[in-house]
Chains A and B, each alone.
Chain A
Amino acid sequence: MDKMVACETCGLVQEMDAVPEGSVAKCARCNFRIAYRRTSSRSRTLAFSIAAAILYFPSNFYPIVTAFYQGQHTQTTIFQGIKSLWEHHQFFIAALVFCTSMFTPALKIIGLIFITLTLDWPYWKKARTWIYQIIRAIDPWNMLEVFLLAIGVSLIELGQAATVNPGRGVFSFAAVVVLTLLATLSFDPRLLWDSPAEQKRYE
C-alpha cells in the first residue's frame, strides 16, 4: 500500500510509492526532495571529512600570504603568523587564531571521521554522541576565521607599499573550511542510535 507523507519544505501531504534504489522522491508541489533522513549521510560526511583532512596539511604547510615589500619578500604560514603574534605579546589573539584556524578544524575532522567510521559499533554510543555534541558546539567558533581574513585585508591595505599575494595555503584553507562545514551539515545524528537494520536502510 502507498504511504502518506508530508513534504518537509512546503508541508503538502501526498502519496509516495516505494522508492527504488538509485532514485529519490520529490514533492508534487514544490519539487523538493522528500526523505526520511538526510540522503546518504554516512558516505557524504566521510567523503567531505576525508577531503578536508587531506587538504588540512597543505593549508598549514604552505604559506597563506606572500608579501613583496620593497624588493624583499616574506612568506607566512598560519603557524608562523600565530608565532609572530605570540612574539609580539598578542597572546589572546594568538591563542584565538590558533584555536579557530588550526585546533578546531583538526578536532572536527578527526571527530567526524571517527564517528562515521564507528557507526556500526554497538559500544560507547553515548560517548560518540557526546563527540558529535562537541563538534556542533565548536562549529560556530570556526567562523572566527574571519579574523584571519581581517589580518589579510589589513595587509592588502598596505597596497602602495607592499604587494600581497595569496599563497597555496589560503586556497587549501578555504577548502578545508567549506568541506568541514559540509561534512557537519551532511551528518545525521540519528544514525548514531539506529539499530543495525535501520542503519542499512538509511546510511
Chain B
Amino acid sequence: MNEKTHTLPKAKIEKAFLNWVIWALPVAAAGLCLYFILHDFIFAGPTITIYFQSADGLEHENSTVKYRGANIGEVKSMTLTKDKKFVAVEAKLNYSAGDVARQGSVFWMVRPELKVGSISGLRTIVSGNYINVQPGNGPRTNEFLALNEAPVEPVKAVEITLLTDDLGSLQKQTTIFYRGVQVGEVLDFRLADDSRRVLVRARIRDEYAPLLRVNSKFWNAGGIDVHIGLFSGAQISAESAQTIVSGGIAFATPLDYGDIATNGAVFALAEKPDDEWKKWNPVIPLHGVPEAQKEKSSLPQINSK
C-alpha cells in the first residue's frame, strides 16, 4: 500500500471527561438520604397523647389535628387505657405547631352538631371527625385530657355571675345584648350549692366592659313578648330573630350609673325587664377599638420551617 497516495484523516485527541466526577453521584445520593433523615430528625414535631372518653369518628393515620382550620398534626394510633375509661389517641404534631404541646392547651373533637339555633361541624360529615386545639401557654407537656365539647374561645372579658330562678332557654354561648348589640355570652351554668337558684357564668367582652356598671340590670330576652292591650292591639316584640329560638340575655345601665363592674360581680337575672329599664339611655364612652379590628392591622408572624 502506498502511504503517499492514501493519506488518512487523523483522529482528534481531546481532553477527557474527568473520571472522578462520576463519583459525585453516590455522594449526592448519600447526601440526599442524609438530608431526608436530618430533616425528619430536626423538624420532627412532638408526639402527644390525648385522652378521649370516646374516639368515635377518629381514624388512625387519617384524622388530623387542626388549629384555626389548618392541619397541624395527624393521629398516629389509638389505644385503650388500662382502666378502659379512656382512649389514648397518639398524635404527631407538625414542627411548626410543636408549640401547641403545652399545659393549658385544650383538645376536643369536632363532630357534626345540630343544636337549637346553631349547626356546626358540617364539614365533618364527609371528612370525618377531627381534633381541634386551643393552645395554652404553660410549660411543655405531652399528655392532655380532651374536653367533651368545644370550649368558648377566650377573649379579654369581664366575667360575671347571673342569678336566676330558672334557666329557661339559656344555654352555653347564649348571647348577651346591649341595645341589641352582642356584647358577651354565657360561658356555663350550674345549680347553686343550696339548689335554690341557677348560677349562670357569663362574660362581657373587654371593649364593652364600661357599659357594665354595678347597678346594671339584666333580664331574660329570649322568646317573644306579646302584649295585648285594649286600645293598642297586639304588640309582639323580640330582641332578635336569634333570641326567639336560642334565647338571650339583655342588660341596661341606669342614667346615674355606678362604678364599672369587675370580674366576679354578681347580678340578678330578671324574667322580664321593667319598662323603665329599656328607656335608660346613659352616655358612656367606650374605650379602645374592638380587638378583632386591632388584630387585622398588624401582620402575623409565620411560624414556619
Q: Which residues of A contact B (CB under 8 A)?
A: 4-5, 12-17, 19-20, 22-29, 31, 34, 39-40, 43-44, 47-48, 50-52, 54-55, 57-58, 62, 70-75, 168, 172, 175, 179
Segment from B58-66, B134-142, B181-189, B203-211 that makes contact with A: B58-66
Inter-subunit contact A54/B33 (CB<8 Å)? yes
Residues of A within 8 A of B130 (CB): 71
Query: A24's contact among B10, B16, B29, B128, by CB below 8 Å, is which?
Result: B16
Task: Kindly state the interface size class of chain B when it binds its partner.
Answer: 20 to 34
A100 to B33, CA, bound (A): 23
Inter-subunit contact B29/A55 (CB<8 Å)? yes
A124 to B75, CA, bound (A): 54
A86 to B128, CA, bound (A): 27
Q: A51-B26, A71-B127, A74-B61 are in contact. Are A58 and B32 (CB under 8 A)?
A: yes
A41 to B11, CA, bound (A): 22
A75 to B32, CA, bound (A): 20
Inter-subunit contact B33/A55 (CB<8 Å)? yes
Q: Which residues of B contact A (CB under 8 A)?
A: 8-17, 19, 22-23, 25-26, 28-30, 32-33, 36, 59, 61-64, 74, 123-124, 126-128, 130
Q: A54-B30, A71-B127 are in contact. Are A27 and B61 (CB under 8 A)?
A: no
Residues of A within 8 A of B64 (CB): 71-73
The 8 closest A-B pairs by CB, nearest first: A71-B127, A28-B9, A54-B29, A51-B29, A16-B11, A51-B26, A50-B26, A51-B25
Which one of B10, B11, B13 has the highest number of Cβ atoms from chain A below 10 Å of its Cβ?
A: B11
Beyond contacts A24-B16, A51-B28: 13 other A-B pairs, Cβ-Cβ < 8 A, are A13-B8, A16-B10, A17-B13, A23-B14, A26-B12, A27-B12, A29-B9, A54-B33, A57-B33, A62-B36, A72-B63, A74-B62, A179-B29
Residues of A within 8 A of B30 (CB): 54
Contacts across chains A and B counted by CB atoms under 8 Å: 107
Inter-subunit contact A27/B11 (CB<8 Å)? yes
* Closest Cβ neighbor of A18 among chain B residues: B13
Min CB–CB distance B230 → chain A (angstroms): 60
* Closest Cβ neighbor of A13 among chain B residues: B8
A-B contact pairs, 16 of them (CB 8 A): A4-B8, A13-B8, A15-B11, A16-B10, A17-B10, A25-B11, A28-B9, A31-B12, A43-B19, A47-B25, A50-B26, A51-B28, A54-B30, A55-B32, A58-B33, A72-B63
Query: A14's contact among B9, B33, B126, by CB below 8 Å, is which?
Result: B9
A33 to B13, CA, bound (A): 10
Query: A22's contact among B15, B32, B36, by CB below 8 Å, is which?
Result: B15
A27 to B13, CA, bound (A): 9
Residues of B within 8 A of A43 (CB): 19, 22-23
Min CB–CB distance A83 → chain B (angstroms): 14
Residues of B within 8 A of A34 (CB): 11
A34 to B64, CA, bound (A): 61
A52 to B22, CA, bound (A): 13
Residues of A within 8 A of B19 (CB): 40, 43
* Closest Cβ neighbor of B63 among chain A residues: A72
* Closest Cβ neighbor of A52 among chain B residues: B29
Inter-subunit contact B8/A47 (CB<8 Å)? no
A47 to B26, CA, bound (A): 6
Which one of B17, B26, B64 has the highest number of Cβ atoms from chain A below 10 Å of its Cβ?
A: B26
